Each structure stands twice: as structure tokens, then as C-alpha cells.
Amino acid sequence: MKPTSTETLPCAIFGHNYVRSKTNLDHTIEMTCSHCDTVVVTDRHGNFENHTVPNSQVTDTLQELYRLTRRIPKTKVAI
């Protein structure tokens, strides 16, 4: 891995220095690296997931869409 700037050099050599930036209601923790500002999210089991979507508004909209689809009951039609 070749770092592109001197800010990411400590991350390339020693690894990231994550700091808790946000705790969500679904018991996931959002962490950011203090050197290179890489965002990582932990799930309920403690596994790290890279925050791949750079626009958080897209992520929020997808979560709201999922909640809406779970809320609307599916009617069963008997034939």
C-alpha cells in the first residue's frame, strides 16, 4: 500500500487509530480514523464494515425505505 500523503503514512505503517464518532440507535458504532478520516461502522456483533457510500443521505434514505417496507403489512388474497 503506497500512501498518497503524509497524513496517511502512520495508518500505512502502524494501522488506523479509530475514535468513536457516533453511536446509532441500532447499537452500531461509527468510528473515524484520527489521521486519515476513514469511516468504519461496527455491527451488533462487533465486526468492522467499511462505510462504502460516501453520501450519508443515500444511506439514510435506504434505511428509511427498508423501514417503510417492513412497516406496511402485506395483504394475502385468497383465490
CA distance 77 to 19: 51
Which pLDDT score is estimated for 74?
A: 64
Which pLDDT score is estimated for 6?
A: 61
β-pair type (29-33, 18-23): antiparallel
Amino acid at 19: V
CA distance 17 to 70: 37
Whole-model pTM?
A: 0.50
Which residues, other chains included, contact 9 with Cβ-Cβ below 8 Å and sequence gap of 6+?
3
Per-residue pLDDT of the chain (79 residues; tens, 9 = 90+): 454 556 667 777 778 888 888 887 777 888 888 888 888 888 777 888 876 556 677 778 888 888 888 876 666 666 6
